[in-house]
Amino acid sequence: MKVLTANPTGLCFGVRRAIEALERALEERGRVYSIGSPIHNPQEVERLEARGLVVVDDLDEVPPGAPLFVRAHGIAPTLLDEALRKCGEVIDGTCPFVRKAQERARDLSAEGYPVVIVGDGEHPEVRGILGFVKGFALVVPGDHDPSLSRLSRFAKVGVLSQTTQKMEVFSSVAKALVGIVPEVRVYNTICSATLERQRAVCELASMVDGILVIGGRNSANTRKLVQIAQEAGASVLWIEHPDELDLGWLRGRGSIGLAAGGSTPDWLIRELIERLEKL
Ligand code: F3S
């Protein structure tokens, strides 16, 4: 069986950068707190917890003076200020692409534009971006969302995207807005890492007999890779750990493509490749 790996695939620049900062802080401070998982990958979180990471749900659970890590998704500015007052030391792992989206949201609302964010309103990145909007804000998952009609009372609107959004979904919302509001200012804040990984898996899907995706089940960008491969007509096996390899799925396939979510650590991909080589 031939195995072709999507290129690029695996850890994106933003998550790699954040985890490296977290590892340095763990080395220096021994114990570092994070509100929510620092990375959408349970195996990597387990590894970091063994080194002193403490994952909490809320800032209230962080002892005063203890260092706090802000993950690549970023947080709202009010929470950051509160964290700085309470913890003194904040290791800010906000991805520069997310930072850009936060700044766009802040600037648009400062200029009086209601802000539309194309994404998942429950996702921490989107909740963080929303924190930068001073006026009206609306989060929509796609152009079918009925709440878009609420924007007809505005003369202008600004639209940006969750960084991991699919381009077609983002552009369809921007297009719908043009039919509703006279002035639409569009900022494409989808990060190139996501697009490159999505394109790579789409190309690979037409070259192989199946696509094997490794990544956390709680990882939105891994789920999108799976969707894209399925939409391209590929048979897809999504696993979180090499132990989940399904031999029945592999049987009879002359070639498979391997893709990993943007939050899958290198060591897990290596383990999977070694496992496949043995097979
Ligand atoms: Fe940043 Fe894009 Fe990764 S926004 S965290 S480089 S998926």
pLDDT tens for 77-128 read 999 999 999 999 999 999 999 999 999 999 999 999 999 999 999 999 999 9
- pLDDT, tens digit, for every residue of 190-238? 998 888 999 999 999 999 999 999 999 988 889 989 999 999 999 999 9
Long-range contacts of 144-148 (CB under 8 A, 24+ apart): 145/173, 148/116, 148/173, 148/176, 148/177, 148/180
Ligand 1, atom 5, lies closest to the CA of 14
What pLDDT score does 218 carry?
Answer: 84
Measured in angstroms, how far is the CA atom of residue 247 from the centroid of ligand 1? 32
Contact, 126 vs 116, CB < 8 A? Answer: no
CA distance 178 to 210: 39
Q: Map out the domains of the chain with their CATH numbers.
A: 2-10+192-278 (3.40.1010.20), 13-92 (3.40.50.11270), 96-186 (3.40.1010.20)
Q: 1-49 pLDDT, tens per residue?
A: 999 999 999 999 999 999 999 999 999 999 999 999 999 899 999 999 9
> For residue 190, what pLDDT is reported?
93
Where do the DSSP E strands lie in 78-176?
Answer: 90-92, 115-118, 137-140, 156-161
Give pLDDT tens digits for 118-163: 999 999 999 999 999 999 999 999 999 999 999 999 999 999 999 9
164 pLDDT band, cuts 50/70/90, is confident
- 229 CA to middle of ligand 1, Å? 20
At residue 244, does pLDDT exceed 90? yes
Catalytic position from the list 89, 125, 168, 277:
125
Q: What percent of the chain has pLDDT over 90?
A: 91
Identify the pLDDT of residue 166. Answer: 84
Q: Which atom of ligand 1 is nearest to the CA of 191?
A: 2
- Ligand 1 center–CA 13 separation, angstroms: 6
221 CA: nearest ligand 1 atom: 7
Q: Answer yes or no: 125 catalytic.
A: yes
Mean pLDDT of the chain: 95
C-alpha 49/C-alpha 214 separation (Å) is 21
* Confidence at residue 99, expressed as pLDDT on a 0 to 100 scale: 98
Q: Which ligand 1 atom lies nearest to the CA of residue 96?
A: 1
**Per-residue confidence (pLDDT) for residue 192, from 0 to 100:** 84
